[in-house]
Amino acid sequence: MNIFNKLIFIIFGVCLCATTQAKINVFTCEPEWADLVRMLGGDHVKVYSATTAYQDPHRIEARPSLIAKVRRADLVVCTGAELEIGWLPMLQRQAGNSRIQRGQPGYFEAASFVERMEIPEKIDRSQGDIHAFGNPHVHLDPRRIIKIAEQLSFRLQQLGAEHSDYFKQQYTVFKTKWLDNIKQWEQSAMPLKGKKIVTHHRDFIYLFDWLGIQSAGELEPKPGLPPSPGHLSRLKQSIKQDPAIAIIYTPYQDTRPAEWLSRETGIPHIQIPYTVGGSDNANDLKGMFTETIYALLKAMQ
Amino acid sequence: MNIESLDLSILGPAFITGCIVLLTHVPLGREVLKRNIIFIDLALAQIAALGIVVAHVLQLEAHGWLTQVIAITSALSGAVILNWTEKHWPNVQEALIGVSFILAATGGLLLLAHNPHGGERMRELLAGQILWTSWNQILITAITSALLLAAWYGLRHGTGHLRFYLVFAIAVTMSVQLVGVYLVFASLIIPALATRKYSETKSTLIGYTIGAMGYIMGLVASAVFDLPTGPMITWLLAMTALIFYFTPSRRINTH
């Protein structure tokens, strides 16, 4: 295999140097960060996302290509706050790439740059899948995305110093457009304010925090645990007394508990993109937010 | 196609892990087939997994060795019980093994009912994460496997059943945490099945070859087609064995 490797290296080596060497190789854990890196890095980054919207970022199947991609990465962008604790540390160890280890400029933990909700006062395992660093699903708040984008742009400027002006420019353009988008989204989502929604997992709290939506509970009895009969029937009682406008879940979650609750209560159940690629219209971050708000408004009618 | 994944430093540790697992599992698999207790590895692996779950529930993972002690003790107790049942109810041994398997599996589910990472842990034990094995784990497993092989071949004329069950329990407890239940089953049964008509030494040697070929091709296929490694190796092990079994030259050799 060594000879084979060398052969490949000789064949592709030249073109690699000519084309991709100048680009920053970025490995992202989730598709939302891949899109953000593409927006901020433009022509000077090459991005690969380890998971798609149809995969649960909490867990992943080990494939040799993942190790190979991390080995060649100049920058690893993940959510952090223990979301990928089940696989990322092993991937980093196995890849043996010193540039992307924790604490290095090549390791970027998005959640560490924003204020997180639900940081537990004490860690008690009986509470379910509680993350010591708070709820990690920060990408569903576009205001937090701006803060993360700013830091990510700094990081790109640091790693690709020869293009730092370009990266600065990209961020400025992004920020202007994004602030406009936020205004529009907030405007159209006005009717959702104060409304109640049931979720499968506690993965929409940042969206709710932003739009002033209230959580009417989760299908999971505790974070990470599958819905149990007792919990579902209690949930059914509580939302019968105090109706929610929708029961929502992500593309990778089991639809059956939501369908059951929807049948029992008459409240519509809808799949929300959750991240980039989660529906046909959610092919970038902007599309994802537009689609999410559109879907929730539609459920109210 | 993912040529960049064809890297010896990525696939190498996984291949060595596979070879170490094969080292004990090929001869043990022959014995399993001979005794007609095919599902014993599933049962013992699941009982070992139950031990790991118990350690998890008792929050003992911080002490890695304690988890191992509990897992091996569980598998050994399972082995002792199954050894006893083989003596007293030999006719229904396979059925009892089946029942132990489902009890261990569902016991794990009950214990993990309130544990959010339980599902992942159970799935990991089934499909395995052979790519994540570290050199440390490989070293420990290699040493233990060498000791087990010595016990297996060294004590041949000593105690019969119990020796088999004890060696088997330790081997499976170890390998299941490295490569998962599916690959343990495949490494045990598939080479033994393909070479069952040969004399013991020949069968073991050919079994090793088939096993090693299956692991190499499975790893390469997993890298090239970008598919999960454990399941891919399982399939290529089966294919290698099939091709070997139906190759005409084999028939000439046997006569």
Residue B160 pLDDT exceeds 90:
no
Q: Measured between CB atoms, does B222 come within 8 Å of chain A?
A: yes
Of the residues B5, B61, B130, B177, the best mutation for testing chain A's interface (the one with the most A CB atoms within 10 Å of its CB) is: B5
pLDDT of residue A5: 57
The minimum CA-CA distance between B137 and chain A, rounded to whole Å, is 13
A20 pLDDT band, cuts 50/70/90, is very low
B2 phi and psi angles, rounded to 5 deg: -125, 75
Q: Measured between CB atoms, does B36 come within 8 Å of chain A?
A: no
A235 pLDDT band, cuts 50/70/90, is very high
Beta strands in A94-223 (DSSP E): 107-109, 196-199, 214-218
Residues A232, A260 contacting (CB under 8 angstroms): yes
pLDDT of residue A49: 95
Rounded mean pLDDT, A153-168? 96
Q: How far is CA B124 from the centre of its chain?
A: 14
Chain B residue at shortest CA distance from A58: B120
Rounded mean pLDDT, B70-99? 90
Of the residues B1, B2, B3, B4, the best mutation for testing chain A's interface (the one with the most A CB atoms within 10 Å of its CB) is: B4
Residue contact B10–A94, C-beta within 8 A? yes
A129 pLDDT band, cuts 50/70/90, is low
Rounded mean pLDDT, B36-57? 85
The minimum CA-CA distance between B129 and chain A, rounded to whole Å, is 6
B45 pLDDT band, cuts 50/70/90, is confident
Whole-angstrom distance, CA of residue A16 vs CA of residue A21: 6
The minimum CA-CA distance between A296 and chain B, rounded to whole Å, is 28
pLDDT of residue B158: 57
Burial zone of A156 (CB within 10 Å; 0-12 exposed, 13-18 middle, 19+ buried): buried
Chain A residue at shortest CA distance from B233: A63
The alpha helices in A63-163, defined as continuous H runs, are: 64-72, 88-95, 142-159
Q: Measured between CB atoms, does B10 come within 8 Å of chain A?
A: yes
Rounded mean pLDDT, B161-175? 87
Closest alpha carbon to B115 in B54, B26, B194, B191: B54
Q: Measured between CB atoms, does B225 come within 8 Å of chain A?
A: no
Residue A50 pLDDT exceeds 80:
yes
Instruction: Sort out which chain B residues have CB atoms less than 8 A from A228's CB and list them.
Output: 113
pLDDT of residue A15: 45
Rounded mean pLDDT, A11-28? 65
Chain B residue at shortest CA distance from A228: B113
Residue A269 pLDDT exceeds 60:
yes
Q: Residue ranges of the domains in chain A?
A: 13-115+128-163, 189-300
Among A20-29, A89-98, A170-179, B69-78, which range has the highest average pLDDT? A170-179
Instruction: Sort out which chain B residues have CB atoms less than 8 A from A52's CB and list them.
Output: none
Residue contact A61–B127, C-beta within 8 A? yes
pLDDT of residue B219: 94
A130 pLDDT band, cuts 50/70/90, is low
Q: Does the fold of domain A189-300 match that of domain A13-115+128-163?
A: yes
**Residue of A147 and B156 predicted with greater confidence:** A147
The minimum CA-CA distance between B252 and chain A, rounded to whole Å, is 33
Nearest to A68 among B7, B123, B219 (CB): B7
pLDDT of residue B74: 92
pLDDT of residue B136: 86
Candidates 3.40.50.1980, 3.20.20.80, 3.40.50.1010, 3.40.50.720; CATH matching A13-115+128-163? 3.40.50.1980
pLDDT of residue B62: 66
Q: Residue ranges of the domains in chain B?
A: 8-244
pLDDT of residue B255: 43
The minimum CA-CA distance between A199 and chain B, rounded to whole Å, is 17
**Residue ranges of chain A whose CB lies within 8 Å of a chain B CB:** 1-2, 4-5, 8, 58-59, 61-65, 67-69, 71-72, 86, 90, 93-94, 96, 125-126, 128-129, 222-226, 228
Chain A residue at shortest CA distance from B179: A62
Residue B69 pLDDT exceeds 60:
yes
Burial zone of B183 (CB within 10 Å; 0-12 exposed, 13-18 middle, 19+ buried): buried
What percent of chain A has a predicted confidence (pLDDT) above 90? 71
ipTM: 0.73
**Residue of B52 and A198 predicted with greater confidence:** A198
Q: At what angle do helices A164-188 and A31-41 cross, to 10 degrees?
A: 130
Nearest to B8 among A5, A8, A96 (CB): A5
Residue B127 pLDDT exceeds 90:
no
Fill in the amino acid letter for B183. Answer: L
Residue contact A68–B10, C-beta within 8 A? yes
B12-23 tens-digit pLDDT = 999 999 999 999
Chain B residue at shortest CA distance from A62: B228
Nearest to A64 among B10, B114, B119 (CB): B10
pLDDT of residue B125: 72
The minimum CA-CA distance between A178 and chain B, rounded to whole Å, is 35
The minimum CA-CA distance between A188 and chain B, rounded to whole Å, is 37
B59 pLDDT band, cuts 50/70/90, is confident
Residue contact B8–A2, C-beta within 8 A? yes
pLDDT of residue A32: 97
Whole-angstrom distance, CA of residue A96 vs CA of residue A71: 7
Nearest to B226 among A2, A63, A96 (CB): A63
What percent of chain B has a predicted confidence (pLDDT) above 90? 37
Q: Measured between CB atoms, does B120 come within 8 Å of chain A?
A: yes
pLDDT of residue A177: 97
Domain covering B8-244, topology: ABC transporter involved in vitamin B12 uptake, BtuC (1.10.3470)
Residue contact A65–B5, C-beta within 8 A? yes
Instruction: Please tell me the least confidently modeled range out of A229-233, A289-293, B210-214, B220-224.
Output: A229-233
pLDDT of residue B6: 81
Closest alpha carbon to B169 in B16, B18, B28, B23: B28
A1 pLDDT band, cuts 50/70/90, is very low
A117 pLDDT band, cuts 50/70/90, is very high
Residue A106 pLDDT exceeds 50:
yes
Domain covering A189-300, topology: Rossmann fold (3.40.50)
Residue contact A1–B6, C-beta within 8 A? yes
Instruction: Please tell me the least confidently modeled range out of A178-182, A205-209, B77-81.
Output: B77-81
pLDDT of residue B249: 62
Q: b vs e for B191-202, b when ≥16 Cβ sit within 10 Å of the residue's Cβ?
A: bbbbbeebeeee
A31 pLDDT band, cuts 50/70/90, is very high
